[in-house]
Amino acid sequence: MNRYIPVAQPRIGIKEMFFTFRALKEKEISGYSTQYIPKFENEFAKLCGTDYAIAVNSGTSALHLALVALGIQDGDEVLVSAYTNMATFFPILQLGGVPIPVDVDPITFNMDPQDLRRLVSSKTKAIMVVHIFGHPAPMFEICEIAKQYGIPIIEDCAEAHGAMIAGKKVGSFGAIGCFSFYANKLVTTGEGGMLTTSDQKLRDSIKSISSLSFGKHQKFLHERDGYNFRLSNVQAGIGLAQLNRLPAMLRDKRKIVGIYNEYLEGHVNIQTPIELPGYTSVYWMYLIKLKKFSSNTTQKLISKLESKGIEARPGFIPFSDQIHVMKQFEISPRETPIASAAGLSTLYLPSGPSLKRNQIKYIVKNLNNELERVSEEEKLS
């Protein structure tokens, strides 16, 4: 057995190679090609249950475009899940908006609707929800709040391709859904992203702005400022092949979670991932939370696992704990204690779709051994 086990690896096969070769052979490589891009967009919209999808060059670009399309500008407040990758927050800051972190549920680490409701104000111009680690956020409750105050929702679905609540796919609840196709995502194009919407005006606006806002009648008489955020045709070909793999990927992910849970459920110091009734998680990564920890426990454990050939990574550091960003943008952080605790106590284990039972057994054995050693070291220090 290979004793180095990465946290994730993409699943690439003949179809991805064939579509890439065909695009190169026919010199269809740009973001204007109609060889694969429209089909990839159409198939992705079908997956999410929306009328439209727009392919772009990254998930971060997707979030940026969503904010621009909704008119977010200087001083506008956007309520955002506190526990997430900073890529969710950066576009708001870069547009001059004011991100307001919303604390999270201690079990799923998704946005807490009660904290959300407390934070809505006259300055709130959008709500950005993150479906963290593949488990959907409580969208029915969040949508009810958004509807009450007339606030549009942007869904960050970067880690949740195919996730559902009561049979409704993420990316179809809000005004706009945003997806990432980075190499460790459930659907990958290496780098890349997608926006989903059922609003034609938003679709047309996003499509134009993502491609430099060229004029309709006179190309170089631009309609407004724009960005070069297009996805290449080569990447779209890879994405099409990946969509065919997604159902099998999701089945394999659930098998992997089931095996991990066999060994770890009921552990005295580990909270395992949960799937709430009515929700369908896609388990992007196998995220665990340490119930007893100090500020250094997680990093020590990750280092010890690395020495055994097991890659593990810490959970996200919440927005309010990003001291360098706070200083750069002269922001006074809003305390989000549950998200801050999660940032210190969570880590994710190897979760690639081809992971085998004997590899998981090896990971769990070393996780238990090294966690015990770390705990003893901290008692003695």
Structure tokens at 237: 């070909």
**pLDDT for the residue numbered 333:** 84
d(CA 337, CA 289): 15
Token pair 């993150």 is found at: 130
Longest dimension (CA), the chain: 74
SS3 letters across 259-282 = HHHHHHCCCCCEECCCCCCCEECC
Show the low-confidence residues of the chain (pLDDT under 70): 1-2, 379-381
pTM beyond cutoff 0.75: yes
**pLDDT for the residue numbered 375:** 79
Q: What residues does CATH 3.40.640.10 cover in the chain?
A: 14-242
**pLDDT for the residue numbered 106:** 96
> Are 282 and 65 in contact, with CB atoms under 8 Å apart?
no
Strands of the sheet with 176-180, listed across from one edge: 52-56, 193-197, 176-180, 153-156, 124-130, 77-81, 98-102
d(CA 274, CA 249): 19
Q: What residues does CATH 3.90.1150.10 cover in the chain?
A: 246-380
CATH number for the segment(s) 246-380:
3.90.1150.10
d(CA 63, CA 56): 10
CA angle 9, 11, 14 (to 5 degrees): 145
CATH number for the segment(s) 14-242:
3.40.640.10
| List of residues 6+ apart from 127 with CB closer than 8 A | 78, 79, 80, 116, 142, 145, 146, 151, 152, 153, 154, 174
Residues 114-149 as b or e (16 or more Cβ within 10 Å = b): ebbbeebeeebbbbbbbbbbbbbbbbeebbebbeee
pLDDT tens for 71-124 read: 999 999 999 999 999 999 999 999 999 999 999 999 999 999 999 999 999 999
> Are 127 and 146 in contact, with CB atoms under 8 Å apart?
yes
**pLDDT for the residue numbered 380:** 52
